[in-house]
Structure formats: C-alpha cells, structure tokens
Structure 1
Amino acid sequence: MYATMLMKRLTLRVQQRYEIIFATAFTLSFLLLHTVIVHAQGNLMIYPKRVVFDGSKRTQDLGLANTGADTATYQVSFVQVRMKEDGSFENIEQPDSGQSFASANLRIFPRTVTIAPKESQAVKLQAINTGSLPPGEYRSHVYFRAVPAPLPAGETPMRPKDTSNLEVKLVPVFGVTIPVIIRVGADSTLVVISDMDLDFKDPKQPQVMFALNRSGNMSAYGDLTIDYISPSGQRTRAAAVKGVAVYTPLLKRKVRIDLDNTAKLNYHQGRLEVSYETASGKPATLAKQEMFLR
C-alpha cells in the first residue's frame, strides 16, 4: 500500500487577471502497513491492504473508514505503477516488458465515496472476463484520491493586493492506493536472498543489507525476519518487516533494515539469519540466508 500527494494546481495571476493552470504529475510512494492511515480531510483506513484474485475468487469488498473529524470524499480510479530496485514506485502509462496491467479486467463501484466522521463504507471490487487471459500475473492499483473540501458558504479565495505580482498557489491533494492482482495458472516463482552485508556507518544504528532475487512468472510477497544467533547458539529477533513485495517484472529488490540496537547484541560475532516467509495462511519459507559476522 502507498500514500500519494498531487500538487493539484499552480495558478499564475498576471496584471490582466488571466489564470493559467498547470496540472502536475503525481508522485507515488508505498506504505507497507497492515492498514493505511492517510491524512486527507480526515483519516482514511482501508482493509485489506492488497487484493489477489486467483482460483474461483471473483469479488472483494474493500472496507473504508474515516477516523477523522471531518466528512471526506474520495474519487476511486485505477493507476499503473512500476516498482524500482529500492522498493519505491513510480507511475507509468505503458507496461514494462514482462508486466501486464489488471485494470481492463477489473470493475470497482462506487467510483465516488463520501464518508462522515467515524463512519465506514464498503467499495466492491470485481474481476471480470478472466477466463480467456493467458497464464501469468496481472497487476494494477486502486487509487482513492481525496477531493478538496469546498470553501464555506460566503467565503471567497484570498486575492493578492498587488495583482502585478506572481502568485503560485499549491493545493495538496492526498490519496492512498492498494495493489490488485489477478493470477492465472500455476505459480513458478522462486526467491533467493543474496548480497548480505552489514552497515556500521552509524554505530548507534547498525543495518543489514541484502537483495531479494525473484524468478518465475509472478510476484513474491511475504514477511521478513532477521535473527541474531550468538556463538553459543542463542537466537534473538533482531528485526522484522511485514508485507514486503517484489512485483513483476522486477527481478531484484534491494533491502536495508535497521537492526535492534537495544538488546546489546554483538554484531561482530555470531551469525545473522534472514528469513522470507509467506504472509497469509500457514507460513511457508520463500527464502532463507545466513551470514557469519566478524
């Protein structure tokens, strides 16, 4: 899941009071949390944080809750994104080689939702016409874009006293997205952990670095745990991150995680073990790797 901020309008006022409005491209960033809270005219919570259609599953209700103090309105649409090696995202219009969009085979309704404070509403997501799709994975993202609240009755926008000066007005509009995936056929995905190393640039906050290498026809998704194993064999949890994805067609995702710096663990002796396990149902190991410390 990710939060987005669209700098909605740049308004240039000249002496003749003509207005030129430029729409800027929005920037996407993802929050990998159990639930997503975004400040956008109130707080929006969405569950589930991702949707996968496979097998006979054809519909999914998305629960939206407004935990803020103001009524909020959201427009619902689909966007397409690319995952980069560092785990960040950028919006795209055309799929990369090896990537397929799901939006042509998805339906969502309603397309506009208004939620009162402390209230909730369901949005229905449906997979359609998937019987003829070739085997593989199809992914798009549902985008909930906050609609700016109108000015109160009788209130007018502020105008500059000197209309010969340039005025730049930025109106931030917030939103949140969740991935929606359609899977067809058998999953041949494999993950290997490589390039493990430690970073002691900040002696007060050591970090472990490694790469998740994905192969096969579908994305990988799971939880990461890092255990410290002392020379005597005692195991201590040093870090954990939930909901880590490697989306197609990305083959290698670089990961950097802060290690526990409160347990007085000696990261210059013993071992570190990184485990990548499925995040739903009965846990299954996707990949595991150890590193001897020195």
Structure 2
Amino acid sequence: MTNLTNRSPSSRIRIGSAPDSWGVWFPDDPRQVPWQRFLDEVAGAGYEWIELGPYGYLPTDPAVLAEETGRRGLRVSAATVFTGLHHGPAVWDRTWAHVAENAALAQAMGARHLVVIPAFWRDDRTGEVLEDRTLTAGQWRQLTGLTERLGREVRERYGLRLVVHPHADTHIDGEENVTRFLDATDPDLVALCLDTGHYAYCGGDSVKLIETYGERIGYLHLKQVDPAVLARVVAEEMPFGPAVAAGVMCEPPAGTPALEPVLAAARALDVDLFAIVEQDMYPCDPDAPYPVAVRTRGFLRSCGL
C-alpha cells in the first residue's frame, strides 16, 4: 500500500466499494449475491478497500475474514450501524450491543471508522410511517447528546472515529437538518460521512457542505441520483426502498451531483479520506453489479483517483 505520509493531495483520497454496490442490504437474503462472490468481484473490479456491510453478511470471525480479504488483496475501511438515539436513554443498551459487535469486528480488521445511520421515520420497504418525520426539540437533544456519547465510547473502547451518515427518510437528511446536527455536536466526537447521492436526493449541495463544514467531513460515500427518477420520487412521495428499486441511484457519471467538483472540494481539504462507492442497487440481477463496478472504478481513475 502507498505510504500515506508521502501522498500528494490528490492521492490522499482512498477509493473503495461496499456490499451495497452489489445489492446487499441484509445479512441474509436469497436475492443477494453470496459473500464469496462479492469479495471476488470487488477485488476483480480494482478496489482495495471495502466496508463490512450488514453485520453477518461477511464472516464475523476475524480470522476467517482476514484470510478471505487478505488473499484477495482487500482491506476494511469501516463498519456500519443503524441507530435510533433520538428515542433517548431507553434505547442505549440495545444500541450499544449492536454497535459493539460491529465495532469489535471493524477494529479486529484494522478499520478506523464506524458509519452511523439514523433510524428511518418510515419503513424503507413498505412505506409505513413509523413516527413523525420532524423531531421535537427534546428529541434533537437526545439525538445529539447520545451521538456524542457514542462517539466517545467507540473511540475509547475500539479506537474508531464515528462518522454520521445523512440518509433519505431519516431525521438527518438535507441541508437544514444536517447543519443543525453538526452545529449541535462536538467536532472532536462526531464527524460526518457525506453520501453524495443521499444528500442530493434530499436537496443538498455536497460541494457547499464540504466548503462550509470541511473540518467535519470524515468520510465519503460516492453515488449519484437520476434527476428524472428523483422528480417522480418527490412527486409521488415514494419511500426510499421503492425509489431505489425504481433506479433513483444511478451509475456515474450519468447522474447528479457531478463527482469531479465534489472530489476537487474534498482534495482541497488536504486530509486523508476514504471515498467509498456505495451505489444502492437492492434488489438487482446478480450479474448487474460487477460491470457497473468496473466502469465506475474506471471513471474514478479518470478523475485522478
């Protein structure tokens, strides 16, 4: 691997991919490719870094996973968890149990990041409204305070940096809620995983966010949205799961935002960042992801990465 201390600014962004780009949303689902095929194909497409995806999809025995990734030339950048911390202390123990198993595996694999996605306010598959889409002032305090606690705990116990992922159909989504969340949390404990596709889906401008809150950007997910499909999603108030099935997330460079300006803004931060391709494709034909991954890796090389 390249020595990070000798990187030029343009090479301080490390590219990877994730099970999500192979249509993997769940630990076990007959519509998903087997984990062995994912590992074979993500390496074959030219990526060196991966995320763990849903806990239990990849082997959870660190020795087994290290063997399987190592012989394919792959390394792990992060684990991902879903949380509902706006519900307050009553959910802490359950949340921590979920976080701890993911964080322990990430640490064992040499990863340094934990991606945290807020809970959905409506079911991402059925569209059932689970709770109000707007948090009360008290719920915001619970969300920010407990996220800071989570950031402190995972750093002290597992050596991981917590990066919160704004996500469609959650309470941290577009510019208003993202900036409110960032302004209310300690930069030393909470960073941001900027997902370019989700932020565009929710009306945000990734370049503006990076230029305004650059010190909070700790991780990137690269994806694009199809503007025509997104217009239909908005008009029909379509839930996120059906929107993905309709093709709202598309292969770059066909959608928005344009990734070249986003990557230029990220380079200007002059920090080491992971930029993980995470193209939502659930469900998909098992033969569809690999050619997309190959083309996407080629496109990112054309961007200097």
Same fold (TM over 0.5): no
Q: Which has the higher strand share?
A: 1
Bigger radius of gyration: 1
TM-score by length of 2: 0.22
Greater relative contact order structure (CA < 8 Å, 6+ sep): 2
TM-score by length of 1: 0.23
